[in-house]
Amino acid sequence: MSEPKVNPNGALAGRVAVVTGASRGIGEAIARRLAMEGAKVVVSARTVEQSEHPLPGTITDTVNRIKAAGGEAIAVRADVSRAEDREQLIKAAEAAYGPVDILVNNAAVTYYIPITQFPEKREKLMFEVQVHGPVHLSQLVYDGMKTKGRGHVIYISSGAARHPRQPYPPGAARGGTVYGMCKAAMERFSTGYASEVFEDNIAVNAISPGLVATPGTVLHRLVNEQNKAMQSPIEAIAEAVCFIARSEPKQVTGRVDQIQEFMKEFNLEPVELI
């Protein structure tokens, strides 16, 4: 990997990016990578101060890291499950930098509970954060993208969207069905919405990061020594998202991709992050 730095005249210079769920993990990595290409990044999540969450990472930390490297970013607290927060997030982004060019829907909340025991309250919350929220945010940025004549909406999906096949893997009974339902719904949204806004020069894509060691996946014991060979570096998903964001909208749109195949198809290599 080459020495990480911010290029203010990079491929995304002058463009405005909103990244949800960017206090840690994949969202944080994406925010940093977009900033490296000169994007003005609106870093959003619920965690502003470390005392607000048991896992390490805050949107304040992400912004400070970007600024320390010479990039431009602001932190906007938003709970994606709340419509008023979603509206305020886009208003804050537009007030600071202008219409949004790139929307990365990465925020997630996940409960691994078998369907026979799944509480309705938690099911609704998961759909609000991972389905209704991203759809609403996509609607909120549409006018600005259309006026500017281009835009990118990117959804961070998961292999959980795929239908389970026999023989079922160990641990399947722990309950990942609702999570998979949310991701599958948004993959279909991505391809459908891509067809609707194609003539507006707005690209819509979904990409699955595969197994990535983040604070969340470690907490849920989704990554371990047994599946280490299947894991992808967090820099890979950040690079893939950056590649999509700097591509011509009509050339890369309506896709649902797994990270390994995507990186190979476009001959991409992850770079070290700021």
Q: What is the pLDDT along the chain (274 residues), one digit of tens a residue?
A: 568 999 999 999 999 999 999 999 999 999 999 999 999 999 999 989 876 677 879 999 999 999 999 999 999 999 999 999 999 999 999 999 999 999 999 999 999 999 999 999 999 999 999 999 999 999 999 999 999 999 999 999 999 999 999 999 888 888 999 999 999 999 999 999 999 999 999 999 999 997 676 665 555 566 555 555 556 799 999 999 999 999 999 999 999 999 999 999 999 999 999 9
Distance CA 32, CA 67 (A): 10
Instruction: Please report whether residue 115 resides in a domain.
Output: no
Q: Show the domain range for 209.
A: 16-109+126-165+183-265
β-sheet bridge partners, residue 40: 16, 72
Maximum CA pair distance of the chain? 53
| Residue 98 DSSP code | S
Distance CA 222, CA 172 (A): 12
pLDDT of residue 169: 83
Angle between helices 133-148 and 83-97 (to 10 degrees): 30
Q: Is 84 buried (19+), middle (13-18) or exposed (0-12) by CB count in 10 A?
A: exposed
* Number of domains within the chain: 1
Cβ atoms of residues 234 and 242 within 8 Å: no
pLDDT of residue 58: 96
Instruction: Please report whether residue 257 resides in a domain.
Output: yes
Whether the predicted model's global pTM rises above the 0.85 cut: yes
Instruction: Please report whether residue 116 resides in a domain.
Output: no
Distance CA 28, CA 36 (A): 13
Cβ atoms of residues 27 and 107 within 8 Å: yes
Q: What are phi and psi of 267, to 5 degrees?
A: 55, 50
Cβ atoms of residues 272 and 32 within 8 Å: no
CATH of the domain at 161: 3.40.50.720
Tokens of 59: 């949107």
Nearest-10 Cα torsion for 96, 203, 43, 234: -150
3-state secondary structure of 244: helix
Number of Cβ within a 10 Å radius of residue 146: 16
Instruction: Please report whether residue 97 resides in a domain.
Output: yes
Catalytic residue among 97, 155, 179, 193: 179
pLDDT of residue 267: 98
Instruction: Please report whether residue 202 resides in a domain.
Output: yes
Instruction: Please report whether residue 194 resides in a domain.
Output: yes
* CB crowding 108-127: b at 16 or more within 10 Å, else e: bbbeebeeeebeeeebeebb
Cβ atoms of residues 104 and 20 within 8 Å: yes
Q: Has 179 been annotated as catalytic?
A: yes
Instruction: Please report whether residue 171 resides in a domain.
Output: no
Instruction: Please report whether residue 142 resides in a domain.
Output: yes
Distance CA 204, CA 254 (A): 6
β-sheet bridge partners, residue 45: 77
Q: In what order do the strands lie in the sheet with 256-258?
A: 72-77, 40-45, 16-19, 102-105, 151-156, 202-208, 256-258
pLDDT of residue 214: 62
